[in-house]
Structure 1
Amino acid sequence: MDAVAALNEIAFWLERELAPSFKVSAFRSAAAIVAEIPANELAGRVADGSLQKTKGIGSRTFEVVSQAVEGGVPDYLADLRERGATPLVSGGADLLAALRGDLHSHSEWSDGGSPVALMAGTARSLGREYLALTDHSPSLRVAHGLSAERLEKQLALVADVDSRHDDFRLLAGIEVDILEDGTLDQSDAMLERLDIVVASVHSKLRADSATMTERMLGGIRDPHTTVLGHCTGRLVSGSRGTRPPSDFDAEVVFAACAENDVAVEINSRPERQDPPDDLIRLALGAGCLFSIDTDAHAPGQLDFLSYGAERAHAAGVPADRIITTWPVDDLLDWARR
Structure 2
Amino acid sequence: MEPIAALDEIAFRLERELAPSFKVKAFRRAADALAGIPASTLPEQVRDGSLRRTKGIGNSTFDVINEAISGQVPGYLQKVRDRAEPLLGSQAGAPDDVGSAIRGDLHTHSEWTDGTTPIDKMVDAARWLGREYIALTDHSPNLTIANGLSAARLTDQLYVVAQLNKQHDDIQVLSGIEVDILESGELDQTPEMLDRLNVVVASVHSKLRADEKTMTERMLRGIAHPRTNVLGHCTGRLVKGSRGTRPPSTFDAERVFAACAANDVAIEINSRPERQDPPDDLIRLALDVGCLFSIDSDAHAPGHLDFLSYGAERAQRNGVPIDRIVTTWPVDRLLEWSRAAS
Q: With the length of structure 1 as denominator, give the TM-score of the two structures.
A: 0.97
Match of 2:185 among 160, 176, 182: 182
Q: 1:313 is matched with which residue?
A: 316
Residues 120-129 or 279-288, more deviating:
120-129
> Partners in 1 of 2:138 and 2:331 — Cα distance?
20
Match of 1:329 among 328, 332, 335: 332
Cα deviation for residue 236 of structure 1 reads 0.5
> Partners in 2 of 1:328 and 1:146 — Cα distance?
25
Q: 2:28 is matched with which residue?
A: 28
Match of 1:136 among 132, 135, 139: 139
Q: Does 1:287 align with 2:290?
A: yes
Residue type of the partner of 1:210?
K
Residues 41-50 or 210-219, more deviating:
41-50
**Which digits, 9 at most, give the CA deviation of each residue in 1:40-62, with x for residues without a partner?**
22122211222112222111111
The unaligned stretches of length 5 or more in structure 2 are none
Q: 1:99 is matched with which residue?
A: 102
Cα deviation for residue 187 of structure 1 reads 0.2
Give runs of aligned pairs for residues 1-16 of structure 1, distance below 5 A. 1-16=1-16
> Partners in 1 of 2:108 and 2:79 — Cα distance?
28
Q: 1:44 is matched with which residue?
A: 44
CA contact (8 A) 2:87 2:306 kept: no
Q: 2:251 is matched with which residue?
A: 248
> Partners in 1 of 2:285 and 2:147 — Cα distance?
34
Residues 67-76 or 242-251, more deviating:
67-76
> Partners in 2 of 1:269 and 1:307 — Cα distance?
8
Residue type of the partner of 2:339?
R
**Aligned residue pairs, count:** 337
Q: Which runs of 4+ in 1 moved over 4 A?
A: 85-88, 90-93
Residue type of the partner of 1:38?
P
Match of 1:225 among 228, 250, 265: 228
> Partners in 2 of 1:308 and 1:133 — Cα distance?
19
Distance 1:85 1:219, change over 3 A: closer
Q: 1:145 is matched with which residue?
A: 148
> Partners in 2 of 1:209 and 1:148 — Cα distance?
32
Cα deviation for residue 87 of structure 1 reads 6.1
Cα deviation for residue 317 of structure 1 reads 0.6
Match of 1:268 among 253, 267, 271: 271
Cα deviation for residue 328 of structure 1 reads 0.4
> Partners in 2 of 1:256 and 1:85 — Cα distance?
37
Q: 2:218 is matched with which residue?
A: 215
> Partners in 1 of 2:85 and 2:104 — Cα distance?
22
RMSD: 1.7
Residue type of the partner of 1:246?
S
Q: Does 1:297 align with 2:300?
A: yes
In percent, how many aligned pairs have the same letter?
A: 68
The unaligned stretches of length 5 or more in structure 1 are none
Secondary structure of 2:125's counterpart equals helix
Secondary structure of 2:53's counterpart equals coil
Q: Does 1:277 align with 2:304?
A: no
